[in-house]
Copies of this chain bind each other. A is one copy, B any other.
Amino acid sequence: MDYAFSARMRALRPSAIREIMKNFNSPDRIMLAGGNPAAESFPLKEIRELSAEILTDKANEIFQYGVSEGYVPLREAVLARLSGQFSLPQGAGNELVITSGSQQAVDLTCRAFLDENDVVLCEDPSYMGALNIFRSYNARLVGVRGSSDGLDPEHLEELLKTEKRVKLLYVIPNFQNPSGVTTSLEKRKAIYALCKKYGIVLIEDNPYGELRFKGEAIPPIKSFDDEGLVVYCGSFSKIFSAGIRIGFSFASPEISRRIALGKQVADVHTNSYAQVLLHAFMQKHDLDAHVRGIQGLYRQKAALMLEGVRANLPECSFVEPEGGLFVWVRSPREDAFPFCVLAAKRNVAIVPGSAFAVNPDAPSPSFRLNFSTPSDEQMERGLKILGECMKEFLKS
């Protein structure tokens, strides 16, 4: 059958990770390619207790249809938590919509704003899941140059001046995926000022923000947002559980109304068990303390990985991340893809940089390593193998 699929679908490609992972089923494989949180980060004991309680006390809330905006007590609890994390300009009314992960918050923002051939500006490289969202709306992606403290405001302004039909700017300001870069306060302010000057809506995606294990927290761009231009997307995937699929958008009432309408169209509402469970956890337990535990775990794991990178890949460079899940390593060669293939042959999975590029056909010198899921032993063994592969790669 020769199907007339949409143009948007033809723009999507099978992910480079999946291609590399094909036939990657060996029992002694080492996965440094994932983006999963550590299994130890899920509060299982507490969840089991709470689950029995809510299935008795909140059965109708859990099993009947809910509202598209999300379970009201959870919305209130998340709002209260946000207000504890940062302050907003006077008079900035914002509303929260619970989504199926922050992935869906980004998707619904695009549904609200993007027409075909609109331009989305973003960091390059950036999170491939978001790039695929933009591609699936037939948007034109344009990458903004950046450095170790975030994207370059001069280049951003140049693009805002020259590109027609720019609708959205997409930024991950904390421990960016894949680069690990954190945007400085100065640059956050400059970026917001440009959005204001050119009337551009900014998607501030912050799934890793709470995973800071070093340095001081920097206020989100949303905290300067006195004109309602920022859609702040948050997630509980990395600080509570990924499989429960809970994230949220936090934006002006007008934008939130469109996001909620899109949510109703997309899947009616987010699954209620997870919403009620997360709310019960936030009521009865100390989520901040739980997050500090995860930060401690990742601090150790990141240190071990950086030590291994320094020892085994002395030819490579990297920006030391202050949080998140990843180390982004730059090889001395223009195209690190063959190195990733060598590693896969030795049963070590890593992600080639091209997977995160605005133009996935361009070669990338870099690759991404994940430290949250492998065991310490796997990490050490994996990095040793990567060191051997790098020697072979640089000889060829």
Question: A residues within 8 Å of B by Cβ?
Answer: 1, 3-9, 12, 14, 35-37, 39, 42, 44, 47-48, 51-52, 55-56, 59-66, 99-101, 103-104, 107, 111-116, 118, 129, 132-133, 136, 167, 199, 201, 227-229, 237, 241-245, 252, 254-255, 258, 261-262, 264-274
**Contact residue among B100, B227, B266 (Cβ-Cβ distance under 8 Å from A107):** B266
Q: A101-B267, A266-B266, A274-B273 are in contact. Are A64 and B261 (CB under 8 A)?
A: no
A133: B residues at CB distance < 8 A: 265
The answer to whether B243 and A273 touch across the interface, beta carbons within 8 angstroms, is yes
CA distance A7 to B167 in the complex (A): 13
The answer to whether B103 and A201 touch across the interface, beta carbons within 8 angstroms, is no
Can you list 13 A-B contacts with CB-CB less than 8 angstroms, sorted by A residue number? Answer: A3-B113, A4-B167, A4-B199, A8-B115, A52-B52, A63-B243, A66-B243, A100-B271, A136-B262, A243-B269, A243-B271, A245-B267, A266-B266
Q: A116-B116, A245-B267, A264-B132 are in contact. Are A63 and B42 (CB under 8 A)?
A: yes
CA distance A256 to B215 in the complex (A): 45
A55: B residues at CB distance < 8 A: 44, 47-48, 51
A9: B residues at CB distance < 8 A: 111-113, 258, 261-262
Q: A48-B55, A52-B48 are in contact. Are A266 and B7 (CB under 8 A)?
A: no
Q: A6-B112, A44-B63, A56-B48 are in contact. Are A245 and B265 (CB under 8 A)?
A: no
Task: Tell me the minimal C-beta distance from A67 to chain B in angstroms.
Answer: 11
Task: Tell me the minimal C-beta distance from A389 to chain B in angstroms.
Answer: 27
Known: A9-B113, A107-B266, A271-B271. 15 other contacts (CB 8 A): A1-B228, A8-B115, A39-B63, A42-B59, A44-B63, A47-B55, A62-B243, A63-B241, A65-B237, A100-B268, A100-B271, A104-B267, A107-B265, A115-B116, A245-B267
